[in-house]
Amino acid sequence: MPTDITATLKRALTQLQAQRGRIDRQIAAIEAVLRAGTGTPQSRRAPKAEKLTKRKSTRKGRRPFTAEQKAAARARMKAYWEKRKTSEGKGD
């Protein structure tokens, strides 16, 4: 039972070449976008970039102590530990 393998191979080759053509066009489109320096089309990029430049940068976390605040905290802690030392001696 002979089969015509040549015809099958030619058909497979034609399909693969068509698929390679589609892939080459997709690669070219992606490279063009990357060369432009953005991942989005120009029309969608401009408003977003404008919003980002207007946004204020906010620090997360605590603000640093000023010198006066540090001195006040130091005095409070010193008083706290002094009180603790004296109350520990009374418990014995």
pLDDT 10s digits, 43-65: 555 555 555 555 566 667 888 89
Please check the confidence at residue 92 and state whether its pLDDT lies above 90. no
pLDDT band at 1 (very low <50, low <70, confident <90, very high): very low
CA dihedral sign, ordered 61, 66, 72, 78: positive
Please check the confidence at residue 22 and state whether its pLDDT lies above 90. yes
Judge whether 36 lies within some domain. yes
pTM score, whole prediction: 0.36
Boundaries of domain holding 11: 7-41
User: How many distinct structural domains can be found in the chain?
Assistant: 1
Judge whether 37 lies within some domain. yes
